[in-house]
């Protein structure tokens, strides 16, 4: 069983997987609509967009995270300033033509 949740502007925000709702997959996008990441590269409930694995959550902790970097640290701003779901790209040369300049992942 899959449960799909969408942002108000139409992009996929989250999928909850399993009959017992065991795993959540979160999706984040840049302001231009490009994929920024899946889940969080930190894999801890504190930094996860869906707070999977937190004490009050019924879902398990995320098992993978992926972040795509286009313009360094200027391509994505989280809704909450206390949550930083994607690794900072300090030594990254920004590419302003829409191509991916770096990737960060955690499994």
Residues 66-107: tens digit of each pLDDT: 988 887 667 777 777 777 777 776 666 777 777 888 888 888
**Is-contact 86 104, C-beta < 8 A?**
yes
Res 27: pLDDT: 94
Q: How far apart are CA 102 and CA 83, in angstroms?
A: 21
Alpha carbon distance 104, 85 (integer Å): 11
| Token reading at 96 | 């302003």
Q: How confident is the model at residue 32 (pLDDT cuts 50, 70, 90)?
A: confident
Place 10 in a pLDDT band, splitting at 50, 70 and 90: very high
pTM to 2 decimals? 0.83
């Amino acid at each position: 069983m899959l449960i799909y949740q969408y942002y108000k502007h139409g992009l996929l925000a989250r999928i909850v997987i399993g009959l017992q709702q065991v795993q959540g997959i979160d999706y984040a996008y840049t302001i231009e609509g490009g994929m920024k990441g899946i889940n969080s590269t930190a894999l801890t409930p504190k930094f996860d967009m869906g707070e999977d694995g937190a004490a009050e959550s019924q879902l398990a902790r995320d098992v993978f995270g992926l972040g795509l970097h286009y313009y360094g640290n200027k391509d994505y701003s989280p809704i909450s300033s206390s949550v930083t779901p994607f690794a900072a790209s300090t030594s990254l040369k920004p590419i302003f033509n829409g191509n991916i300049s770096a990737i960060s992942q955690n499994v």
